[in-house]
Amino acid sequence: MALIKIIMRDLFDENNHKNRIVMETPKMMLKSRRPPLPSTQLIESLIANKKPLNPHPTYSRSNSIRSLKTSVPKTSRSPSETRKFLINSSIPIISASNWCVVEGNTGRVLHGFKDIEVKEIASLTKIMTCWVCIKIIERGLCSLEDKVRISAKASKQTGTSADLKEGQSIGVLDLLYGLMLPSGNDAAWALAEHFGAALNPLTSKPLKQFICEMNKYARIMNLYTTYYANPHGLVFKKNVSCARDVCKLSCISLKDPIFRRIVSTKVHNAEITNVNGLTNKVTWENTNKLLVKGFEGIKTGVTDNAGPCLATAVRGKMYIVITLLNSKSMEARWDEAQSVANWIMNSCE
């Protein structure tokens, strides 16, 4: 039986332009026209003026149609960005309650499930903590060679730890590795105190200053569901984001070579100076067990409220970023991320 096509024409604007809406059954062909991710230069210029990239934020629901074909608008993009992408019916079984996969260079959403639902994100919070530190360094307010003294509050943070002790001193670069590899909550607190003081040397609340900076960047990057209440992601109902926002932040962060090098590292040896002046070496292993061929970082996370979480990037036929929130188990994250990656790559024409 021939397909029934309904063509609706309407004159819709003052210039009498014609708008044609074509509805086809049983398939609907859609084209993605999401703008490219903002450059770090644009973000830096906007942060001084405190202006968001889009004063009227909107989010569209992820495409639920399983037979869907999209193509990137014709621009001067790399071959990996201009591939046609066909979603077929063989979507892998994913236990994560929320997940999203985007094109790494543009941030274009390829697929997801409840990807704009507000959730706690555990240590995926540290992606922004790390990125904000790097941006403050680029502004000349701090250096990778700066020494950070560990405060009593930093050393007493619970959960995953870089095993830092009160009174110890450690370089900023090593501390960033301590933040992202063993997922040190103590490292997150120490960095927030140090960089918060650099932002405002007169403040008596450097931690609050740093968290404000995290939220400032979140607004400028149009992370509409994201709000940070701490620098490490420990359980707190107001420290929230969504799978799509985490993907978007990850895409932007991975453009920075320092960030990319840190999150792709499996093992790092750091030097820590003790209170007595003696220096000892420590070794940190990455909690991310998915640093295999083709995968780049990014961050793991787990709390009772957030469940096991993962943000990762994959290079193959396409460059994609995947975020899984609240998977059924710690180990399920690795298998499910690989399943999503294989599914997306096999869907490329």
| pLDDT > 80? residue 215 | yes
Using one digit for the tens of pLDDT, what is the confidence trace for 263-303?
999 999 999 999 999 999 999 999 999 999 899 989 999 99
| pLDDT > 50? residue 9 | no
The residue-averaged pLDDT of 42-52 equals 54
The encoded tokens of residue 334 equal 């690795």
| pLDDT > 60? residue 14 | no
| pLDDT > 70? residue 43 | no
Of the candidate ranges 43-47, 173-177, 207-211, 339-343, the one whose mean pLDDT is the lowest: 43-47
pLDDT reported for residue 126: 99
pLDDT reported for residue 80: 40
Measured CA to CA, the distance from residue 217 to residue 240 in angstroms comes to 15
Backbone angles phi, psi at 275, to 5 degrees: -60, -35
Of the candidate ranges 14-28, 112-126, 238-252, 279-293, the one whose mean pLDDT is the lowest: 14-28
The more confidently predicted of residues 226 and 20 is 226
| pLDDT > 90? residue 144 | yes
**pLDDT classification of 59: cutoffs 50, 70, 90:** very low
Backbone angles phi, psi at 119, to 5 degrees: -145, 155
The more confidently predicted of residues 348 and 102 is 102
pLDDT reported for residue 63: 36
pLDDT reported for residue 336: 96
**Mean pLDDT in the chain?**
82
Three-state SS for 105-164 is CCCCEEEEECCCCCEECHHHHHHHHHHHHHHHHHCCCCCCCCEEECCHHHHCCCCCCCCC
The residue-averaged pLDDT of 97-113 equals 95
Share above pLDDT 90 across residues of the chain, in percent, rounded to a whole number: 70
Please name the residues in contact with 22: beta carbons below 8 A apart, sequence gap of 6 or more: 5, 7
pLDDT reported for residue 133: 99
**pLDDT classification of 7: cutoffs 50, 70, 90:** very low
**pLDDT classification of 49: cutoffs 50, 70, 90:** low
| pLDDT > 90? residue 50 | no
pLDDT reported for residue 40: 56
CATH class of 98-347: alpha beta
Three-state SS for 45-100 is HHHHHCCCCCCCCCCCCCCCCCCEEECCCCCCCCCCCCCCEEECCCCCCCCCCEEE
Question: What are the residue ranges spanned by the domains of the chain?
Answer: 98-347
| pLDDT > 60? residue 97 | yes
Q: Specify the pTM.
A: 0.78
Closest CA to 170 of 189, 187, 192, 148: 148
Measured CA to CA, the distance from residue 163 to residue 184 in angstroms comes to 8
Are 166 and 194 in contact, with CB atoms under 8 Å apart?
A: no
| pLDDT > 60? residue 121 | yes
Measured CA to CA, the distance from residue 66 to residue 113 in angstroms comes to 12
pLDDT reported for residue 150: 98
The residue-averaged pLDDT of 320-348 equals 94
Using one digit for the tens of pLDDT, what is the confidence trace for 152-188?
999 999 999 999 999 999 999 999 999 999 999 999 9
Is residue 241 classed as helix, strand or coil in its secondary structure? strand
Identity at 28, one-letter amino acid code:
M
| pLDDT > 60? residue 82 | no
